[in-house]
Amino acid sequence: MAYKLKSIKQRTGFVNNYYEVLIHKQAKPIGSKGEYQTYDTHEETFKTEEDFEKYLNENYRLGKIEKTYQDTVSGESYESGFIIAYNSEEYDRDSGKYVKYHNKDWFDVRKVESRDTEVKITKTKLKQEE
């Protein structure tokens, strides 16, 4: 399966520079009634959506995608990221067996934008006190 991103709408009019993606990885053993446990949180930076798609295709071969939304103060909401749910099997050293897990990796996507601003540096003479 290949991932193809649709543009994530942000409410700004600046020039796009890069994408910041905060990834929260959670898992629980299949059949467990317990809560998902976060086992890794890290940030990735991508210059373009295509770079992000390449990362997803290299690291997530299978999975179900669910969109996530964020509410604004005005009561509106916008698409802020997505979750990829998938199953995995990991070796548990304590038990000496493989354990099957249900994973949910949360992707909080931010488009980082900036304005072109001019910075002026001027030289000034300092008066020396005698």
Number of domains, the chain: 1
Q: Who wins on pLDDT, 122 or 67?
A: 67
Cβ atoms of 55 and 46 closer than 8 Å: yes
Instruction: Indicate the SS3 state at residue 49.
Output: helix
Query: Can you list the alpha helix ranges (DSSP code H) found in 47-114?
Result: 49-59
Report whether pLDDT(74) > 70. yes
- What is the pTM (predicted TM-score) of this model? 0.70
- Assign 115 a pLDDT band (cuts: 50, 70, 90): low
What is the DSSP code (8-state) at residue 28? E
Q: Which amino acid is at 55?
A: Y
